[in-house]
Amino acid sequence: MPLHAGDRLPAATFRTRTPEGVKTLTTADVFGGRKVVLFAVPAAFSPTCSQTHLPGYVAHHDAIKAGGVDEIACVSANDAWVLDAWAREHGAAGKVLMLSDGNLEFTRAAGMELDATIVGEGFRSQRYAAIVEDGVVTEIRVDDKPWLAEASSASSICRLQGQ
């Protein structure tokens, strides 16, 4: 069953690239006691993810943070190295915490899996964005079509914050 407002995020582990190497983080590490905007992408470096989705969060970083958000995080099935390269290429390093969910542990437990096998891309995450407070989803927007970043866009999150 997919995530809804009021749901607690599932316990899972993520991998992220730091200057010291790859680090493992848990759901509690990222979301516990904090307000986080989480957005999910099917594939780093894909056209929509690279031309619209991530750049929107970079451009709206300050406005989103001004709404009381402690962290902006992106989850994807890509590995930590790919996500790090993608963040650096788009000026997101230091602005968006990249969370690799390479085994889809989080995505499957959250009910947000996307079957992209028909286009040869295996299983991925649906495209969505959520506002999460202390591990509980307060708002969530899911794009009906994974090739569009509309409901899950940074501007959509800004509107939810009243901006």
Q: How many angstroms separate the CA atoms of 28 and 35, rounded?
A: 12
Residue predicted with more confidence, 143 or 87 = 87
Residues 107/40, Cβ–Cβ less than 8 Å: yes
Q: What predicted TM-score, i.e. pTM, was given to this entire model?
A: 0.92
Considering the candidates 49, 77, 99, 131, report the single residue annotated as catalytic: 49
Using DSSP's 3-state secondary structure scheme, residue 83 falls into helix
Q: Which of 74, 82, 138, 133 is nearest to 106 (CA)?
A: 74
Q: Give catalytic status of residue 49 as yes or no.
A: yes
Q: What is the pLDDT of residue 152?
A: 84
Residue predicted with more confidence, 148 or 109 = 109
Q: How many angstroms separate the CA atoms of 98 and 79, rounded?
A: 10
List, in order of start, the domains of the chain with CATH numbers. 13-160 (3.40.30.10)
- Please tell me the least confidently modeled range out of 1-15, 20-34, 46-60, 125-139: 46-60
> Using alpha carbons only, what angle is made at residue 141 by residues 127 and 13, rounded to the nearest 5 degrees?
55
